[in-house]
Amino acid sequence: MEGSFFKFEIFSDYPEVVQGISTRQYGNMSFQRGEIEKAKKNREQFIKDLEIKPENIIVADLVHGQNIALVDKSNVGKSALLKSSVIENTDGLVTKEAGIFLMITVADCFPLMAYDPVKKIIGAAHLGWRGIIAGIIPSFIEKFKQNGSSLENLLIGLGPGICQRHFVVKTDVLNQFSYFDSSSVFIRNKDGYVDLRKAIINTLNKMGIRKNNLEVSNYCPVCNNHLFGSHRVEQENAPISAAIIGLKG
Ligand SMILES: [Zn+2]
């Protein structure tokens, strides 16, 4: 943790990368709950601390699907401070352009960030259990490949997200994960649990992402609730984090 927001080590050798995940100290970043004016102010502060401008930020809508949008400067314009300016029907964004920054929001769900320093392609995706089952991870990695990335060059950061001890699930979710990756499923005292972090790492490894190119945060918003808002713990009052990444223009 650097200062008041989370940063991945894996991108730190690349001064062109701007990145950060807000902690609860910044307050709620979501326009879907609470007072919008407050969320706007919170976003403004975080964006300022990253030394970038809200009008250069592109925000994903987040629908728990597997769509990844390739975006460029033509998608910028309405600013991260306007609720109406999201890219609809997408849970992840990838860009080949410097000077624009990608933003997703998370609470319990995992932020996945990636950078190809050779081709200068950068991206962020929001991974919840539905998106993982729907195939958002291959869809995200594919987007890099389609744009010329070689898997061996891809650096990946998996941010804070709910740990297996705290992710109790109902039978239908348990069954879906038993089928998706049986090693990520546990039964304890008759309750079913899913290790989403493990399911994500296994999927990335199966796709050919090198272990040395993957940084995994061990923070869980339930275990580390003093640092990150958790929907499981706080429901509608959870301060949603923003995850932002991009290349300096
Ligand atoms: Zn936990």
The answer, yes or no, to whether residue 221 has pLDDT greater than 60, is: yes
The CATH number given to 5-163+213-247 is: 3.60.140.10
CA distances from 184 to 22, 39, 83 (A): 28, 35, 36
From ligand 1's centre to the CA of 196, what distance in Å? 11
The tokens of 164 are what? Answer: 């297996």
From ligand 1's centre to the CA of 248, what distance in Å? 34
Burial class of residue 127 (count of CB atoms within 10 Å of its CB; 0-12, 13-18, 19+):
buried
Query: Out of 51-60, 68-77, 115-124, 190-199, which region has the weakest mean confidence (pLDDT)?
Result: 68-77
This prediction's pTM? 0.95
From ligand 1's centre to the CA of 57, what distance in Å? 31
- pLDDT tens profile 64-104: 888 999 999 888 866 677 776 678 888 999 999 999 999 99
From ligand 1's centre to the CA of 216, what distance in Å? 14
Beta strand segments in 151-219, E: 155-158, 168-169, 185-188, 191-194, 214-216
Domain boundaries, the chain: 5-163+213-247
pLDDT of residue 51: 96
From ligand 1's centre to the CA of 42, what distance in Å? 25
The answer, yes or no, to whether residue 3 has pLDDT greater than 70, is: no
DSSP conformation class of 2 = B
Spatial contact of 5 and 52, defined as CB atoms under 8 Å apart: no
From ligand 1's centre to the CA of 199, what distance in Å? 16
